């Protein structure tokens, strides 16, 4: 089908995972290295939507942005929308330290959430959400993936995301679900997409 969308990120892991999902819909990704502007907000949807609008303003064309968060039940949803900051400050070992009193896997429930915001214009932003339930492992496992992947075990698996191939991870992952929803929407609304592309992509 030869569709192509812009994806505002420099994260090679996110690019590869999104590519692996969208290629099944005949959709290609063109990464663009525009700075992602994040607001402080309790809602991942609002964070992603704001970033997508800012990216659209910069490039002048429809563009996708993805934001994700890890919500841990026993920590009242922490780190949630602040996952990136927490990862950079206390890291994986810091999260495991906070959960050291919870000795069984059932008490270490967590939810990974991904939101893909696709800005068709400044006023029209589509939101696609993916949710994966699972547990926080007792130690850091695996060398693949990125971020919290080495400590997150999805339901119905014994592996952390970091112990999986991209293809296996995408079967479970929050990001895979969100991009799959985007792909389904693009195919369903192909005529709208082509019309917007014709107007906005001239000279691209």
Q: Which of 67, 101, 104, 149 is catalytic?
A: 67
State how far the Cα of 169 lies from the Cα of 176, in Å rounded to an integer. Answer: 8
Compute and round to an integer the Cα radius of gyration of the chain: 17
Question: b vs e for 173-197, b when ≥16 Cβ sit within 10 Å of the residue's Cβ?
Answer: bbbbbbbbbbbebbeeeeeebeebb
CB 128 within 8 A of CB 115: yes
What's the pLDDT band for 49 if we cut at 50, 70, 90?
very high
What local confidence, expressed as pLDDT, does residue 23 receive?
A: 94
What local confidence, expressed as pLDDT, does residue 132 receive?
A: 98
What local confidence, expressed as pLDDT, does residue 199 receive?
A: 57
Its pTM stands at 0.89
Q: Give pLDDT tens digits for 116-141.
A: 999 999 999 999 999 999 999 999 99
Is 67 catalytic? The answer is: yes
pLDDT beyond 90 at 201: no
Domains, the chain, ordered by start: 3-200 (3.90.950.10)
């Amino acid at each position: 089908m030869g569709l192509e969308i812009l994806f505002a990120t420099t994260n090679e892991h996110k690019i590869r995972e999104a590519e692996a999902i969208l290629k099944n819909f005949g959709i290609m990704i063109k990464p663009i290295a525009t700075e992602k502007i994040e607001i402080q907000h309790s809602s991942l949807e609002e964070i992603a939507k704001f970033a997508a609008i800012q990216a659209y303003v910069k490039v002048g064309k429809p563009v996708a942005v993805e934001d994700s968060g890890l919500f841990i039940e026993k920590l009242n949803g922490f780190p949630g929308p602040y996952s990136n900051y927490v990862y950079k400050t206390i890291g994986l070992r810091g999260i495991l330290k906070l959960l050291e009193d919870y000795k069984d896997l059932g008490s270490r429930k967590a939810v990974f959430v991904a939101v893909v915001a696709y800005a068709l214009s400044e006023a029209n932003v589509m939101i696609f959400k993916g949710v994966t339930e699972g547990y926080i492992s007792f130690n850091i496992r695996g060398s693949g993936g990125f971020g919290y992947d080495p400590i997150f075990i999805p339901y119905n698996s014994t592996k952390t995301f970091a112990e999986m191939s991209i293809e296996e991870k995408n079967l479970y992952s929050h990001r895979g679900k969100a991009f799959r929803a985007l792909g389904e929407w693009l195919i369903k609304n192909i005529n709208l997409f082509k019309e917007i592309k014709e107007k906005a992509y001239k000279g691209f």
